[in-house]
Chain A
C-alpha cells in the first residue's frame, strides 16, 4: 500500500518537474492562446462599435440606415459582456490549471477544443442574426420582444460550450486531488474551481429561460411569461458580473504580490473570499429588478441584502491588497506612514494596470452599494448612471486586470518576453484607458443622475429644454469614447505583439508564495460538496418562493413583438 502511494507521488512529482523544466505544455498553451486571441478580437470589434455609439449618442455622428444604433448596441453588449469576458476567463483559467496542476489531462484538453467549437458556432448564429437585423434585442433579450429563433439557438450553443469547459476543469481538479490526497489544491486552481462552479450553476437560470423562449420563438407556443424570463435572466446576469470580478481578483491575490516582490497575504483568507463569493453570488438577481412589477418589496429587500453581502469579501480583498503593498514597500526600505506607496513599481505595466483596476473598484463599489440599495435604485434605474457604473467595474476593474494579466500570461504561453518598449506602450495604453474611462464614466454618472436614459440613440425629445441640458455631458462622453478606441487599438497591438512578434525567451507564471510564518490553511476549505450545498441552500432561499409565485400565479402571457 505504502509503495503504491509512493509510486503515485513519485510519478506526480516527476511530472511536476518536467512541467517546471519545460516551462509550459505547448499543447495546453495553444488552447489558451486561441481563447485569449478570440477574446481580444471581440474586444477590438466591441470597442469600435462602442465608439460609433458614443459619437451617435452625443449627436456627432448619424449612423447609416443599414447600421441601426440598437443593432450596434446589441452587438457591443454581446461581444464585450458575453464573448470577451467569457473567452478570456476560460483561456486564463485553463492556463492556470495547466500550470498549477502539472498540465491538462489529454481528455480535458480535447474538451476545451470541443467547447471552443461549440462557442464559435454559437457566436456565428448570434452574430449573423444581429448583423442581418433580426435580433436588435440587446444582450438582455427581454421578451416579449422576439428575435429570430436562431439567435436563441446560438445562445444554447454558447452555454453548452461554457458547461463543457466547466466539466473539463472539474475533471482535471478531481484527478489532481485523487493523486494528492491530503494536500491543498493550489490557490489559483482553487479560484478556478470557484469560477467554474459559478459558471455552471449560474447559467442554469438563463438556460431555463432560453429553453422556455425557443418554442415561443419558433411559433409553437403563443404567449410567454415576461416577468419569469426577466427573473431567470438576472439570476444569471448578476452571477456573470461576479464571475469576472472573481477572475480579476485571482490575479490581484496571486500574481501581483509576486510581481512587486511581496508575499501572499494569507492563503486561508484568500480561500475564504472564494468560498464567500461562491455561496453569496447567485442570489442578488432582483437588485436588477427593483422597480419591476410582480415581485413583492419584501422579496426585493431580501435580495438587496444578499447582493450587498458581496461587499464583505470585497472589503477583505481591499485590506489584503494594501497590506501586501505596504509589506512589500517596507521590505524595500520605505519609511513613514505612506512611504511604501511611492516605492511601488509604477513604471511596470504588469503592476500599474491591475493597480488602476483596484483603485477604480473603490468608487465603483461605493456607487454600486448606493445604486442597488432598494428605493435609492429608483432614482437611477435604467439611466446613464448605471452604464457609467458598469463601465467602471467591467470597463476598468475587470478589463485592466485582464490586460494586466496579458503582459505576463501571453508571453509565458508563447515563450516570449515583454520588452521594455512594449512595457512603455502598455503604460501609455493604461493611462489613455484610464483617462478615457474617467471622462466617459464620470459624464455618464452625472448625466444619469439628471435623468438621461440608457440604451437610447441621439435624441432631444423634440428640443425639450431638460434633454438639451444633457448635451454637454454627452459630448464629454464622446471624447472619453474616442480616447478609449485609441486604448483599444493599442491593447490589440500589444496582444498581437506578445503572441507573434516579441523576442523569444522565458516568462514566469507569477505565483505568490506564502509568508515564512504563515499559518496552515484549515482543512475544511477543501470541502467543495459542503460549499456547493450551502450555495444551493442560499439560492433556494432567494428564488424558490418568488419563482413558484411567478409560475403558478402568472398573469395572462404575452404574444411576440418585433418592434425594430
Chain B
C-alpha cells in the first residue's frame, strides 16, 4: 500500500493535533486535579434522607473562606436553594439524586456534573466574581425540567 508523500505529512499533522491536545488536557487533568467529576462513592438512592451527610443538606463553613454545600437533587428542585456565598469562597458541592438522573450546571462557570442516583458527586469551584449565578438542571428529568433552577449569589 503506497501512501503519497503529501498525504503522509497531512496525516502526521492530524495525528499530532490529536496527540498534543490529549497530552495537554491529560496533563492538566491529572497533574492539577482538573479531572471531570467522577464520583465513585455509593449511596442507597431510596434512603438518601436517612444517610449522612444528606440527612442534613445545607451550606457549611469548613475553613477560612472554604465551604461545603451538601445538596440533594429531586424533581424539580435543588435543596438547599438560593445559596449565598462571600466573594472568593472556595466551595465543594457534594450532591446526589433522590429520584431520576439530574444535571448540575452553573452558567458562566465550569461547574457541570451528572447527578446519577446511587452515586455521590463532588465538584469544587472558587467564586472570584461577585454576582448572581444561575444554577440549572441540564439532564431532562420530566415534565417540570424547565423549572428546575435556583441561584447562587456571591457578595
Contacts and interface: CB of A to CB of B under 8 A. Distances in A.
Contacts of B31: none
Interface string B1-38: 11110110011011101100110011011100011111
Given A301-B26, A373-B25, A379-B110, A296 B38 contact: yes
A376 B35 CA distance: 10
B118 A316 contact: no
B44 interface: yes
Given A272-B1, A290-B36, A312-B14, A383 B138 contact: yes
A144 interface: yes
Nearest to A294: B119
B76 to A, nearest CB: 8
Name, among B47, B101, B144, the residue most crowded by chain A CB atoms within 10 Å (CB to CB): B101
Contacts, number: 219
Interface string A441-454: 00000000011111
B42 interface: yes
A311 B42 CA distance: 36
Contact of A374 (B26, B75, B101, B107): B26
Contacts of A450: 107-108
A81 interface: no
B154 interface: no
A151 B104 CA distance: 29
B44 A555 contact: yes
Interface stretch (A239-247, A414-422, A461-469): A461-469
A194 to B, nearest CB: 17
B28 A375 contact: yes
Contacts of B39: 293-294
Contact of A466 (B43, B99, B108, B119): B108
Contact of B118 (A304, A464, A555): A555
A319 interface: yes
B118 A227 contact: yes
Contact of B138 (A304, A454, A557): A454
Contacts of A142: 100-101, 139
Contacts of A330: none
A558 B134 CA distance: 29
Interface in B71-128: 75, 99-101, 103, 105-108, 110, 112-121
B70 interface: no
Contacts of B6: 319
B140 interface: yes
B112 A291 contact: yes
Interface in A298-323: 300-301, 304-305, 308-309, 311-312, 315-316, 319, 323
A308 B105 contact: no
B137 A269 contact: no
Contact of A319 (B7, B38, B136, B147): B7
Contacts of A369: 17-18, 21
Interface residues of A, number: 73
A268 B1 contact: yes
Nearest to A453: B138
B132 interface: yes
Contacts of B140: 70, 138, 455-456
Contact of A563 (B112, B141, B151): B141
B40 interface: yes
Contacts of A373: 21-22, 25
A296 B37 CA distance: 9
A455 B145 contact: yes
A277 B69 CA distance: 44
Contacts of B40: 293-294, 296
Interface in A32-65: none
Name, among B17, B34, B45, B137, the residue most crowded by chain A CB atoms within 10 Å (CB to CB): B45
A300 B151 contact: no
B135 to A, nearest CB: 9
Contacts of A466: 107-108, 132-134
B107 A311 contact: no
A528 B145 CA distance: 47
B149 interface: yes
A502 interface: no
Contacts of B22: 304-305, 308, 373-374
A19 interface: no
Given A138-B140, A466-B108, A319 B146 contact: no
A459 B145 CA distance: 10
Given A291-B112, A377-B36, A555 B42 contact: yes
A454 B7 CA distance: 39
Given A144-B117, A308-B22, A465-B132, A375 B29 contact: yes
Contacts of A113: none
Contacts of B105: 382-383, 451, 453
Nearest to B140: A455
A138 B141 CA distance: 10
Contacts of A374: 22, 25-26, 29, 36
Given A309-B18, A319-B10, A451-B108, 4 more contacts: A291-B36, A291-B37, A297-B29, A456-B146
30 contacts: A70-B142, A70-B145, A144-B99, A145-B142, A227-B116, A268-B1, A291-B113, A292-B38, A293-B40, A293-B120, A295-B38, A311-B17, A315-B11, A369-B18, A374-B22, A376-B25, A377-B36, A378-B37, A378-B112, A382-B114, A450-B108, A455-B139, A458-B146, A461-B134, A461-B147, A464-B149, A556-B43, A556-B118, A557-B118, A561-B142
Interface of B: 1-4, 6-7, 10-11, 13-15, 17-18, 21-22, 25-26, 28-30, 34-40, 42-47, 75, 99-101, 103, 105-108, 110, 112-121, 132-134, 136-147, 149, 151
